[in-house]
Amino acid sequence: MAPTFKDLQLTGIGGRDSTAIDVADDDLEDVRLLDSYDDVYAKSSEESGMKRIQVKVTGMTCAACSTSVEGALMSLNGVVSASVALLQHKADVLFDLNLVKEDDVKNAIEDAGFEAEILKEQNTNRTTKPQGGTLVGQFTIGGMTCAACVNSVEGILRKLNGVSRAVVSLPTSLGEVEYDPLIISKEEIVNAIEDAGFDASFVQSSEQDKIILGVVGVMSELDAQTLEGILCNLKGVKQFGFSRLSKELDVLFDTEILGPRSLVDAIVRESSGRFQLHVKNPFTRMVSQDEEESSKMYRLFTSSLLLSFPIFLMRFICPHIPLLYALLLKRCGPFQMGDWLNWILVTLVQFVIGKRFYIAAFRALRNGSTNMDVLVALGTTAAYVYSVYALLYGAITGFWSPTYFETSAMLITFVLLGKYLESLAKGKTSDAIKKLVELVPATALLLVKDKGGKNVGEREIDALLIQPGDVLKVLPGTKVPVDGHVVWGSSYVNESMVTGESAPVLKEVDSLVIGGTINFHGLLHVQATKIGSDTVLSQIISLVETAQMSKAPIQKFADYVASIFVPTVVGLSFLTFLAWYISGYLGAYSDEWLPVNGNHFDFALMFAISVVVIACPCALGLATPTAVMVATGVGANNGVLIKGGEALERAQKVQYVIFDKTGTLTQGKATVTTVKVFTEMDRGDFLRLLASAEASSEHPLAKAILEYTRHFQFFEASKDSEHQNDGSAMSAWLLDVFDFHAVPGRGVQCLIDGKSILVGNRSLLTENGIEIPTHVENFVVDLEENAKTGILVAYDSELIGAVGVADPLKREAAVVVEGLKKMGVRPIMVTGDNWRTARAVAKEVDIQDIRAEVMPAGKADVIRSFQKDGSIVAMVGDGINDSPALAAADVGIAIGAGTDIAIEAADYVLMKNNLEDVITAIDLSRKTFTRIRLNYVFAMAYNVISIPIAAGVLFPWLRLKLPPWVAGACMALSSVSVVCSSLLLRRYRKPRLTTILEITVE
């Protein structure tokens, strides 16, 4: 199991044991010990009666001394926090001025046997506190078996002071906690989880100035001290902790002084190569923890099976083998030989191998909750205790009742088998993340340059140590290590694993490349621009992982059932026992139904135990999260990123899909098709004015105009100079522009040569008092009826020309719209363009319902108008102006070629710029929730049918009786069945449009 790092302290919150080492050098003497408290917090603290001081402490020689000082300070009433740094011989104390004075702090330290001196305050500039105030940390949580465990852990985490959000996922055994490091540390979060009875360890957080390194070469305590000495003297290292058990080094460093690679290189250099370090990838650490959990379950199962198999033989096989049966019947003291063997073997299974059930059940009950472990512990203990009682009663009275040792042993064995199979199946639900993680190469070839920028060699480095600006060598057939751009070479790159686009993409100088993609035949030099969590692949992994952590609203049903399930089952078990025992005592059934040498008590007890162990809350708890996990992974493999279970649930109910026009239904690559000058102005001068006005605009139509005028200017300029740089010539050709500003939904206006120029639609010109002649209006109407956008240009209050711009439709747009109609979804188009153009485009794709001349903010209003009657509305868009509408929609779908802001606001992200994936998103969500409903039907039906059978409802007529160990086997396999049902989603294939459209292809 992964280390819990209890011996590490990366934030200096006082009041807990730690062996953290705070590091300072001459340049860092003024760095405050508790760097996590920034100046703003300190100021607000003092304003509220709180004060922070630093105290020089003399006489400390070891960690025990610093702990003693810290304890003495925390014992003062009014001290909020205290952190003591052994190497700096300083203490940092935050206290309430109304309760504690500076002298009280000094006296407390001196009473503990050390000398103290209050240090004067010094102003220092610190930027160690991460922006945003809170951190998001991930923690592995072991020991959870059902939804009740999840509810228990989430409830405990949310009650912690400083925790603002906590989400726990049963399939991944992960918890995501948003917390304020000023109030609570990750160690305290781990301790809270462990106090609740679960195993916990920290995985990663959003801190950017921390790194976890695996260290090779530390063989002894002397080596560990050498490593600590190197870090103590290393400039920029603030805190660190080394786990001797796992050989992992946790380092907190100043990013302005030290980088991750510089840190690793410095340690290797100072140790003369004795220590080799590699960065621990948090995702691979989680995968290894999953494998460890499966291995642990396998060891427990095989051990239980080896001990239970002889018990099974003695119970069911040996009575048919006279020689062996005679040996088992041989008396040895008060009991027979078989009784002794049974008792010894079952005790080992019950209390050694089955210890985990008792521990988990105790923890659950202590926290006021119940789970599957309570049922297993209750059922097996009842069988074991009764069997021991029957043996002792027989030895004393001579009346030998039947024992049920095999029930306890075989029940635990089958439950462990179920847990092992479940852990294997659950591991497969996260295959998508594992595959994404494996895309990143472990190492990269760094080109080493001299001061003049000339390549002087290359070295192989850990891919996680790449820094922005590094130039990397990408060999043919290898993977691109990080996001960047090509600075030398050309090649084709396979990006299908990230974008889903199967065709290789040509990469030349200045082309952007994505980390994890495969270089085909050419050699490339790539300059890193994005590293770590900023890369496309890391963001995809993070998005998929966040989606798998989220809960669909339908999960609330399972959480409610889980909260009352176990108490209900225990109550039904007790009623079953009373019913059979009392009815037998009253003679309601024949004594022939009793087992040999049995009585009404043990007859009723077996039914009661069967009820306890056959009931399974796990299947209910796994029904939704496992399906959501598989679906998000399948979506990622198909180029559809889903941001959570809630979005997945809403998407399957979508009734309306609203499309933005530009860049969504159209290709977003507008081209100028027509230029008309209505005055005697030269065509070149007209284009020069137009390009100068549009040069500062980011609108797609403006870019199309600039592209057109660039080509025009190129041909004109080439007559004068064949060697002039095209870009510089374009800049020189443009006129100076003043007072430029864009008018949303209208166009742009500015001043050129002191005269006003307007470029935009009719509204822009009429609002500025410029009349549009009839012949110009007719020209623009003709453009619009041919699905082109007409742009008018006015200069010095005179309309001088017009430009026609066309944006071709995507080839799949019409087919996708028809496909949505076949699926029962109504398509709608919303655009800021004029009505004639909008109708022309809508006619081409067969959309009847359109909204034109809609301002960006108005798109959200259009969506709300459809939501008034409770309809579920999806919005598909790509631009910044679509982000309000994407956020307002029940399901926001951003195409991956769009802007980051649009993608941030959306619930679904289509990695390919292909509208067919809109159908994939809706279809996948529908199939996922069909699977979830089937899971719930199975889980509920299993319990509804199995519990009455286990209670003996059919016994009077069919003599059908489930022995407890058979009931346990059914219970173990039920949760495995639900997980395997969810895994069937891995066979999902994108719907073929020909199938949706009911077209027969010959």
Give the residue carrying structure tokens 């199979």. 421
User: How far apart are alpha carbons 225 and 228 in whole angstroms?
Assistant: 5
Of 621, 684, 672, 662, nearest to 936 (Cα)? 621
Give the residue carrying structure tokens 């960065």. 279
CA 941 to chain centre: 32
Of 10, 9, 35, nearest to 92 (Cα)? 35
Category of 643 on φ-ψ map: left (φ > 0), alpha (ψ -120 to 50) or beta? alpha
Cβ atoms of residues 202 and 186 within 8 Å:
yes
- Cβ-Cβ contacts under 8 Å for 763 (sequence gap 6 or more): 745, 746
Sheet containing strand 50-58, edge to edge, reads 79-85, 90-96, 50-58, 115-118
User: How far apart are alpha carbons 538 and 531 in whole angstroms?
Assistant: 9
| HSE (side-chain half, CA atoms, 13 Å) at 711 | 7
- Cβ-Cβ contacts under 8 Å for 895 (sequence gap 6 or more): 663, 664, 876, 877, 878, 909, 910, 912, 913, 914, 915
- Cβ-Cβ contacts under 8 Å for 243 (sequence gap 6 or more): 3, 5, 7, 8, 249, 250
Cβ atoms of residues 143 and 364 within 8 Å:
no
Give the C-alpha distances (Å, rounded to integers) separating 349 from 205, 392, 564, 758.
40, 20, 29, 86
Active site residue 736: no
Longest CA pairwise span in the chain (Å): 125
Category of 477 on φ-ψ map: left (φ > 0), alpha (ψ -120 to 50) or beta? left
Give the residue carrying structure tokens 């929730």. 929
The pair of structure tokens assigned to 31 is 């760095």
What sign results for the dihedral spanned by CA atoms 529, 531, 534, 538?
Answer: positive
Cβ atoms of residues 776 and 732 within 8 Å:
no
Sheet containing strand 199-205, edge to edge, reads 163-169, 174-179, 135-142, 199-205
User: How far apart are alpha carbons 876 and 903 in whole angstroms?
Assistant: 11
Compute the residue count for the chain: 1002
User: How many Cβ atoms are within 10 Å of 257's Cβ, its own excluded?
Assistant: 15
Of 291, 290, 267, nearest to 279 (Cα)? 267
User: How far apart are alpha carbons 552 and 651 in whole angstroms?
Assistant: 12
Alpha-carbon radius of gyration of the chain: 36
User: How far apart are alpha carbons 9 and 252 in whole angstroms?
Assistant: 10
User: How far apart are alpha carbons 129 and 238 in whole angstroms?
Assistant: 13
Of 630, 655, 628, nearest to 644 (Cα)? 628
Cβ atoms of residues 180 and 133 within 8 Å:
yes
Cβ atoms of residues 528 and 470 within 8 Å:
yes
The pair of structure tokens assigned to 562 is 């889980």
The residue from 660, 878, 917, 923 that is catalytic is: 660
CA 410 to chain centre: 38
SS3 category, 967: helix
- Cβ-Cβ contacts under 8 Å for 930 (sequence gap 6 or more): none
Give the residue carrying structure tokens 């006279």. 322
User: How far apart are alpha carbons 862 and 857 in whole angstroms?
Assistant: 9
The pair of structure tokens assigned to 153 is 């852990």
User: What residues are annotated to the active site?
Assistant: 660
